[in-house]
Amino acid sequence: MAPDPRDAFEEAYAAGVPGTLRRPAGRAESRTGPRSRDDRRPPTGAPPRTVSPETPPSLAPTEPTAYGGSILMGDGSLARGWVVVEGDAIAEVRSTKPRTVEHAIATEGVILPGLIDLHGHPEYNVFAAWEPPRTYINRGQWRGSDEYAGLVKEPWAALTHGGASVSIKTAMTRYAEVRAAVGGVTAIQGASKDYPNKAEALVRNVDLLVFGDQVARSTVDVGRLREDDIESIRAGIFDTGTVKAHYVHLAEGQKTNDASVREFERFAASPLFSHATVMIHGTALTRDHFDQLAAVGGKLVWSPQSNLRLYDETTDVAAALAAGLPVALGADWMPSGSPSLLHELKIAQEVAAQTPELTLEAPDLVRMITSGAAEIAGLGDRIGTLAAGRPADLTILQKRVDDPYDSVVAAYPSWVDLVMIGGDVIFGRPDWVAELTGGEAGVEQYERVTAWGRHMLLDTRFGSPEDGPPEGPPRRLAEIRARLIARYPAVGPIFA
C-alpha cells in the first residue's frame, strides 16, 4: 500500500528542530565576522580564503560606505545620522557625516536593523493565502480538515513527490527566503530538521546554524517529541547552556478550548519549561498562565493575523505584557498569516487600538521585530541593533511619515529601498546597487525584478550550491519560480 501523503506532510510539518545539527563539511565552525558567502569573502580581519572557480564574487560594497537618514539603532534613535559599513560589519553610528569616508549615500529614509521574524514555516510559504471557510476551535481542527488538505497537504505532496524531492524542497525554501528578504527581513524562524540548507542561507535562520553555531531548538507538536529529543533539548538548556531559545507552539486555540490549555499545562510540568521557552501563540491562555511562563524567564511570540483568521481571537498580549513577558512578532505562514512582517505590524497596531488595556506605541512595535526579537532569540549580542562592531544587517525603508518609528509601522514591502545582510547587498534600488558594487559590472551580477511596480535588483546566490541548473537546484528567482510552477501552477506570488 502506498504511504498516505498526508502522513508524510504531517511528519515534515511537525518536525521542528529537536536535535543537534551537524555543521556542513568545509564550512568555518566559528566566525569573527558576521557572514561568509559560501566562504567567498573572509570575516573582518581574517585572511583571504580559497574559493572554488564556480563560486560567484561577493556583492558587498567595494569600499567603506556611509548611509545617511533617520537612524533607529534598536536601543535609541537619531533624527538625522549616519551608519558607516566597512566590509561585513558596522564601523560606526554617528550624528554627523563622516569626513574620512569618501563614499556616502544620503538615503532620506529610515535606516534600522534588519527585521527579525520569530514565527514562520518557510518550507510552506510557497502556497497562496487561504480563506478559512469557518472559525476553528484549535490547531488540530483545521489541520485535520479536508479543505486544509486540499489547499496545502496535497499540493505539498505533489510538489515534493511526498517529501522525497530535495531539489524542489531547496527551491521552496529559497523562494520563502526571497519573500522574507524583499520585505526587509534578515532573520527568520521556523525551519525544520529537514531544511535543505542548515548552514547560513539567504537570510539568517535563527533555529538552524547561525554565526556558525546552533543556539536554538524548535518544536511544533509537543506530543511528538521523543524521549531522546527531550533529553537533548534539556541538556542544551541546563547542562551546556548552548540552547538559548526553544521555540514551542503551545495553546493555539480559542480561550474556551480546554485541550489547548491542557497542552500548555503538560509542557509547564515538563523538564523543558524554562528560561529558554519561547512560546508561539498562547491564544487560549490567561494571565495566570503568563505569570507561570514569566516566573521561569520565558518569552512569547505573537502572530495576531493568523490567530484572528483561524480562531476569530488572538493572544491576550495585554495580560502577557502585564506579567512581564518579552514579546516579539511573527508573520506565521502564508496560508493563514501575513504576507510580510511589515503587514503583521499593522495587524498588531490595529489590535492594540481596539484593546483599551493594551498600549503599544510605534517604538514598542518596532522593538518587537528588531532588538526585542533578537534578545528573545538569544542573539541580542549579534543582531537587532545598529552599533559599531555588529554585523551589517540593516534595512532601509522610504520615510513617508515624519516620525521614523511611525514610518516603519506604516511601511509596506514596496517601501523597502535596500536590504543588507553581513555587508552583502541582497536587495536594493538599482542606482544604489550600482554605487555600492562598482557600476554596471556589479549590477549585471544581480537579477532584475519588478517589485510592486518598482524596478529593483535581487541577489539570491548566497548559500546556493555550486552546481547550478540543470545539475543542482536553481539559483535565481526566475528559475526557482519556473521550477515550482511547473509542478504546481498556483504557487503564491511574492510581489502581489
CATH number of 127's domain: 3.20.20.140
Q: How far apart are CA 247 and CA 301, in angstroms?
A: 9
Q: Would 365 be classed as within a structural domain?
A: yes
Tell which of 376, 404, 426 closes a domain: 376
Q: Which residues contact 102 (CB under 8 A, 6 or more apart)?
A: 63
Query: 330 and 401 share a domain?
Result: no
Q: How far apart are CA 82 and CA 66, in angstroms?
A: 6
> Is the Cβ–Cβ distance between 437 and 443 less than 8 Å?
yes
> Is the Cβ–Cβ distance between 305 and 331 less than 8 Å?
yes
Residue 81, domain CATH: 2.30.40.10
28-42, 87-101, 173-187: lowest mean pLDDT where? 28-42
Q: Which residues contact 477 (CB under 8 A, 6 or more apart)?
A: 175, 178, 447, 449, 458, 460, 494
> Is the Cβ–Cβ distance between 337 and 331 less than 8 Å?
yes
Query: 120 and 213 share a domain?
Result: yes
Q: For 218-234, what is each residue's pLDDT tens digit?
A: 999 999 999 999 999 99
The pLDDT value given to residue 170: 85
The pLDDT value given to residue 46: 30
Q: pTM score, two decimals? A: 0.92
Query: Which is nearest to 184 in space by CA: 496, 349, 415?
Result: 415
Residue 235, pLDDT above cutoff 70: yes
Q: For 15-59, what is each residue's pLDDT tens digit?
A: 688 888 876 654 443 323 334 443 333 333 332 322 333 434 445
Query: 390 and 281 share a domain?
Result: no
Q: Would 329 be classed as within a structural domain?
A: yes
Kindly report the backbone phi and psi dihedral angles of residue 462, in degrees, each rounded to the nearest multiple of 5, phi listed first: -60, 130
Three-class HEC string of the chain: CCCCHHHHHHHHHCCCECCCCCCCCCCCCCCCCCCCCCCCCCCCCCCCCCCCCCCCCCCCCCCCEEEEEEEECCCCEEEEEEEEEECCEEEEEECCCCCCCCEEEEEEEEEEECEEECCCCHHHCCCCCCCCCCCCCEHHHHHCCHHHHHHHHHHHHHHHCCCCCHHHHHHHHHHHHHHHHHCCEEEECCCCCCCCCCCCCCCEECCCEECCEECEEEECCHHHCCHHHHHHHHHHHHHCCCCCEEEEEECCECCCCHHHHHHHHHHHCCCCCCCCEEEEECCCCCHHHHHHHHHCCCEEEECHHHHHHHHCCCCCHHHHHHCCCCEEECCCCCCCCCCCHHHHHHHHHHHHHCCCCCCCCHHHHHHCCCHHHHHHCCCCCCCCCCCCCCECCEEEEECCCCCHHHHHHHCCHHHEEEEEECCEEEEECHHHHHHHHCCHHHHCCCEEEEECCEEEEECCCCCCCCCCCCCCCCCCHHHHHHHHHHHCCCCCCCCC
Query: 143 and 269 share a domain?
Result: yes
Helix axis angle for 477-487 and 166-182, nearest 10°, is 130
64-78, 125-139, 157-171: lowest mean pLDDT where? 157-171
> Is the Cβ–Cβ distance between 350 and 370 less than 8 Å?
no
Q: For 397-421, what is each residue's pLDDT tens digit?
A: 999 999 999 999 999 999 999 999 9
The pLDDT value given to residue 441: 84
**CA distances (Å), origin 119, targets 264, 330, 334, 375, 434:** 18, 4, 12, 15, 34
Tell which of 376, 404, 425 closes a domain: 376
Q: How far apart are CA 138 and CA 131, in angstroms?
A: 16
Query: 87 and 126 share a domain?
Result: no
> Is the Cβ–Cβ distance between 110 and 446 less than 8 Å?
no
Query: 222 and 338 share a domain?
Result: yes
Q: Would 246 be classed as within a structural domain?
A: yes
Q: Would 336 be classed as within a structural domain?
A: yes
**CA distances (Å), origin 430, targets 425, 454, 459:** 11, 10, 12
Query: 72 and 176 share a domain?
Result: no
As a whole number of Å, the CA-based R_g of the chain is 22
Query: 163 and 282 share a domain?
Result: yes
Query: 283 and 414 share a domain?
Result: no
**CA distances (Å), origin 456, targets 20, 151, 182, 419:** 38, 31, 10, 11
The pLDDT value given to residue 287: 98
Neighbours of 353 (CB within 10 A): 10
Q: How far apart are CA 373 and CA 380, in angstroms?
A: 8
156-170, 227-241, 323-337, 470-484: lowest mean pLDDT where? 470-484
Q: Would 42 be classed as within a structural domain?
A: no
Q: Which grid cell sits at 13?
A: 510539518
Q: Would 195 be classed as within a structural domain?
A: yes
The pLDDT value given to residue 114: 98
How many Cα atoms within 13 Å fall on the side-chain side of residue 228?
Answer: 2
Query: 395 and 321 share a domain?
Result: no
What is the tally of structural domains in the chain? Answer: 2
Query: Which is nearest to 466 in space by CA: 21, 34, 37, 28?
Result: 37
Residue with cell 510552477: 485
% of the chain beyond a pLDDT of 70: 86
Query: 184 and 223 share a domain?
Result: yes
**Strands lying side by side in the sheet with 245-250:** 216-219, 245-250, 277-281, 299-302, 327-329
Mean predicted lDDT score pLDDT of the chain: 88
Q: How far apart are CA 189 and CA 96, in angstroms?
A: 36
Residue 481, pLDDT above cutoff 50: yes
Query: 225 and 129 share a domain?
Result: yes
Q: Which domain holds residue 253?
A: 116-376
Q: How far apart are CA 161 and CA 438, in angstroms?
A: 43
Query: Which is nearest to 377 in space by CA: 216, 235, 200?
Result: 216
The pLDDT value given to residue 464: 60
Q: Would 254 be classed as within a structural domain?
A: yes
Q: Which grid cell sits at 181?
A: 528578504
The pLDDT value given to residue 380: 97
Q: Would 411 be classed as within a structural domain?
A: yes
Q: Which grid cell sits at 259?
A: 485541550
Tell which of 376, 394, 418 closes a domain: 376
